[in-house]
Amino acid sequence: MLLISDGSDKVCERIIQTDLHADMLEKLSCRCLSAATLNDSQSNAQRNFVQCCVGILHNVVRRITTSREVFRKCQAVDNLYEFCDVTNYPVIFLFSSLICLQ
């Protein structure tokens, strides 16, 4: 899904239309995926999951301009804030896209 969303506006639009973005953001807010847990060397699968979700969300924001408002309504900034240090560029891009003025 990460690779497909990187190259397809249609897939990114479907993610918004089906509320998959909201499901991913809800899952990312789970305590088992907290940044503190992801820094543990035992949590490679969780870290990969978070990085893929953040990457998909990054692709949606990058490709679909109307997605920013949709993400803001889902409290994406609040849900993703703690991942700034563990996921690198995509979440920083998401933040800059979501918190900037329209």
Q: What tens digit of pLDDT does each residue of 2-25 get?
A: 889 989 999 999 999 999 999 999
Going from N- to C-terminal start, the domains of the chain cover: 2-99
Place of tokens 């990969």: 48
SS (H, E, C) 21-38: HHHHHHHHCCHHHCHHHH
pTM of the model: 0.79
Q: For 18-22, 33-37, 88-92, which range has the lowest pLDDT when averaged over its residues?
A: 88-92
**In Å, what is the CA distance from 6 to each residue of 3, 41, 85, 86?**
5, 28, 22, 21
Tens digit of each residue's pLDDT (9 = 90 or more) over 61-76: 889 988 988 988 888 8
User: How far, in Å, CA of 76 to CA of 63, rounded?
Assistant: 17
Strands, DSSP E only, in the chain?
none
Whether 57 and 6 have beta carbons less than 8 Å apart is answered as no
DSSP symbol at 31: G
Q: Which two tokens stand for residue 10?
A: 């249609």
- Write down the mean pLDDT value for the chain: 79
